[in-house]
């Protein structure tokens, strides 16, 4: 199998799916001639032409609205928001139109919205957000967030083929830092959790970039056997996998880069408290980002984002409980 970066895997998924299915096209700001802000679509316009690689105006609402119309007549658009933060400008079209179209009119809206998300590169308050919880609250959409190159490709293929609107969180900090073996050809990865590392003493639940933080923080933690569960999909949430791991280890630590109030990690904690309470041997602990804008300053940014040291400290406290 070839080795790819996280970014290359996402690019490969789109390129191969566009070759496989001519209904698939991509649209977004600067994705054509320029190849995208992060070069994910570099070379696409030369291969597929401007009708399938559409440079759009600076208008997220227009991008999502156009995609909804295209999906209703049978196409499969992939929309790129240059940064996840800018999805707020297309919120109404995504949440109130795309998310409710099937319920209202019986029309499936097969669109995939790619959101380059997350901090860790001093992007400041307008280029570093993790807005996944916004869409977990909104009916009619699926929300996925891969942590590995293999899953980034497989989950994106699954998203493009899913008949529901799918919000695809791709963490910018992983683009060129994470690489791994990625199968050739097209394959679909299910919207379920995966066990990134087996363990018996404690479970750490994470997704996206925080999977790697969790893995590093608990790799050698005073001899403890720590399980790491990569959620991968936030909607649907793999509740059985979460509860099975809690039954196994009896202790749960949740690591979530998003703002802590009503975040994905809060939903996991509520699930465990509701349906896994009898299996617990300690409180459910969380490491998340405070509810403040992400600072530009690199030291301040590192202070507010979940770090390896913060995860280690929380894991040790829970193991000793």
Domain boundaries for CATH 3.40.50.920 within the chain: 194-319
Does residue 14 register a pLDDT over 90?
A: yes
Residue 70, Ramachandran bin (φ over 0: left; ψ between -120 and 50: alpha; else beta): alpha
Which stretches within 49-206 are classed as H helix? 60-72, 91, 101-105, 132-136, 149-161
Instruction: Tell whether omega for the bond before 150 is within 30 degrees of 0, i.e. cis.
Output: no
3-class SS at 277? Answer: helix
**34-83 tens-digit pLDDT:** 999 999 999 999 999 999 999 999 999 999 999 999 999 999 999 999 99
Q: What pLDDT does residue 33 have?
A: 95
Share of the chain above pLDDT 90, in %: 95
Three-state secondary structure string covering 20-45: HCCCEEEEECCCCCCCCCCCCCCCHH
Q: How sure is the predictor about 121, in pLDDT bands with cuts at 50, 70 and 90?
A: confident
Find the mean pLDDT for residues 170-175: 96
| Spacing of C-alpha 267 from chain mean position | 15
Q: Tally Cβ neighbours within 10 Å of residue 51.
A: 8
- Which of the residues 127, 171, 173, 212 is marked catalytic? 127
Find the mean pLDDT for residues 274-286: 96
Asked if 215 and 197 touch (Cβ cutoff 8 Å), the reply is yes
Mark whether 137 is an active-site residue: no
Q: Which stretch of DSSP H or E encloses residue 167?
A: strand 166-171
Domain boundaries for CATH 3.40.50.970 within the chain: 3-181
Asked if 294 and 119 touch (Cβ cutoff 8 Å), the reply is yes
Sign of CA dihedral 45, 157, 198, 229: positive
**174-216 tens-digit pLDDT:** 999 999 999 999 999 999 999 999 999 999 999 999 999 999 9
Sign of CA dihedral 287, 290, 291, 294: negative
Measured between alpha carbons, how far is 112 from 108 in angstroms, rounded to an integer?
12
Report the CATH architecture of 194-319: 3-Layer(aba) Sandwich (3.40)
Does residue 162 register a pLDDT over 90?
A: yes
Q: What pLDDT does residue 63 have?
A: 97
DSSP-derived secondary structure for 173-187: GGTTT-EEE--SS--
Q: Tally Cβ neighbours within 10 Å of residue 129.
A: 25
**20-38 tens-digit pLDDT:** 999 999 999 999 999 999 9
Find the mean pLDDT for residues 144-165: 98
Q: What pLDDT does residue 123 have?
A: 87
Does residue 120 register a pLDDT over 90?
A: no
Mean pLDDT across the chain: 96
| Angle between helix 209-217 and helix 308-319 axes, rounded to 10 deg | 60
Question: What does R_g of the chain's alpha carbons equal in angstroms?
Answer: 19
Burial tier of 298 (Cβ tally within 10 Å: 0-12, 13-18, 19+): exposed
Q: What pLDDT does residue 66 have?
A: 97
Q: Sort strands 194-197 and 226-230 into parallel, antiparallel or unpaired.
A: antiparallel
Q: In CATH, what class is 3-181?
A: alpha beta
Give the tokens for residue 318: 């829970």
Q: What pLDDT does residue 1 have?
A: 87
**230-247 tens-digit pLDDT:** 999 999 999 999 999 999
């Amino acid at each position: 199998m070839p080795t790819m970066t996280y970014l290359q895997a996402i690019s490969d998924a789109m390129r191969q799916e566009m070759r496989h299915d001519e209904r698939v096209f991509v649209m977004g700001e600067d994705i054509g001639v320029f190849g995208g802000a992060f070069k994910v679509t570099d070379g696409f316009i030369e291969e597929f032409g401007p009708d399938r690689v559409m440079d759009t105006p600076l208008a997220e609402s227009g991008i999502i609205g156009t995609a909804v119309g295209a999906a209703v007549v049978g196409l499969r658009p992939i929309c790129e928001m240059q940064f996840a933060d800018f999805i707020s400008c297309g919120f109404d079209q995504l949440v109130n139109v795309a998310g409710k179209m099937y319920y209202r009119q019986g029309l499936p809206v097969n669109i995939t919205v790619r959101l380059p998300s997350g901090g860790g590169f001093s992007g400041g308050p307008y280029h570093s957000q993790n807005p996944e919880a916004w869409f977990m609250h909104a009916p009619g959409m699926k929300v996925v967030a891969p942590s590995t190159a293999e899953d980034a490709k497989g989950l994106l293929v699954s998203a493009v083929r899913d008949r529901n609107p799918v919000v695809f969180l791709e963490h910018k900090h992983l683009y060129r830092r994470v690489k791994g073996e990625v199968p050739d050809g097209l394959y679909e990865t299910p919207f379920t959790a995966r066990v990134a590392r087996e363990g018996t003493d404690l479970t750490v639940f994470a997704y996206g970039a925080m999977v790697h933080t969790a893995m590093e923080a608990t790799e050698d933690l005073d001899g403890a056997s720590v399980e790491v569960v990569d959620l991968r999909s936030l909607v649907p949430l793999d509740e059985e996998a979460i509860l099975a791991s809690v039954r196994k280890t009896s202790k749960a630590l949740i690591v979530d880069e998003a703002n802590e109030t009503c975040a994905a990690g809060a939903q996991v904690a509520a699930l465990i408290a509701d349906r896994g309470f009898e299996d617990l041997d300690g409180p459910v602990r969380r490491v998340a980002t405070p509810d403040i804008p992400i600072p530009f300053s690199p030291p301040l940014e590192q202070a507010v984002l979940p770090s390896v040291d913060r995860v280690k400290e929380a894991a040790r406290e829970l193991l000793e409980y």
